[in-house]
Amino acid sequence: MCLKLKLFFVEILFSKESYLIIANLLVIALITMGLATVIKRGFEKILNREGSGDKLDRTSFSFLRYVLVAAVYLVGITLAFYSIPALRTLGATILAGAGVLALAVSFASQQALSNIVSGLFIVIFRPFKIGDRIYLKDKLLEGFTEDITLRHTVIRDLENRRIIVPNSIISNEIIVNADYGDPMICRLLEFGISYESSIDLAKKIITEQALKHPLTLDNRTSQQLEADEGIVTVRVSALGDFSVNLRVWIWTKDQSDAIQLKSDLLQTIKERFDAEGIDIPYPHTTVIMKK
């Protein structure tokens, strides 16, 4: 096989057809890279024109871009291989003497094909889309889906870092998608007040502050409207060891609004509690001394 390879390189360098072969290779390379560049730029223009509001189209177009570019390079490499006559005759010999290499490539290609198939399933079944806010591994990994390639999914976390997750791994994870289907969020907040504080006054303060916030939404059903239920619901959730726990349910437009609303209400309700004498107790222990 080594002798045939040496003869092949001699043929390429000194034969009369070498210039024609090199010219064909250059033409194939230029056409392949040019066509791949045109596809990339064309899809980028389409994605930018569609805008960030249409996440469904962005996901499909982005994945299709990678599929087409990969197909172009695959066709280009195949044409380059077959444009060299000596490689056609050497192909059978090389493959016959490279059993171990073929086995290693087969194992590597299994993982690669698994990522491609998993990425295709993600695009088809859409457990998440580009722009969605997702949580992985019990909320230890949180961020926005930025890109879905043939091999991996790119997640931009809250600190603007990029997390690369292979498609075969993320497709087997349990994903919490804050934007899947209905993006509205029912945010739950809990406040602990002392046993000496007025529960009715605390509930009134929480309700007033929640209704004042511009991100609070009225998501009451027709039955709740007929029953004259309030927009914000506050109830006693537990009698703790040292506090009475109050829980409030507040609806917001999406996950981003829910985060801002929670932060704002924690501050304003704490300030109202301080101003009107509602105590938020510290943990304490009562010790009884007996003789």
> Domain with 193 in it: what CATH number?
3.30.70.100
- 25 and 68 share one domain: yes
Domain assignment of residue 127, yes or no: no
In the predicted model, residues of the chain with pLDDT beneath 50 are 52-53, 56, 91-92, 94-95, 98
Domain assignment of residue 87, yes or no: yes
| Total of domains in the chain | 3
- 225 and 254 share one domain: yes
pLDDT at 57: 63
Strands 185-193 and 176-177: unpaired
Out of 119, 146, 177, a domain closes at 177
- 34 and 71 share one domain: yes
β-partners of residue 226 are none
- 168 and 241 share one domain: no
pLDDT at 158: 84
d(CA 16, CA 142): 61
Domain assignment of residue 214, yes or no: yes
Domain assignment of residue 105, yes or no: no
- 159 and 198 share one domain: no
Structural domain harbouring 215: 185-275
pLDDT at 95: 47
- 173 and 196 share one domain: no
pLDDT at 288: 86
d(CA 155, CA 128): 11
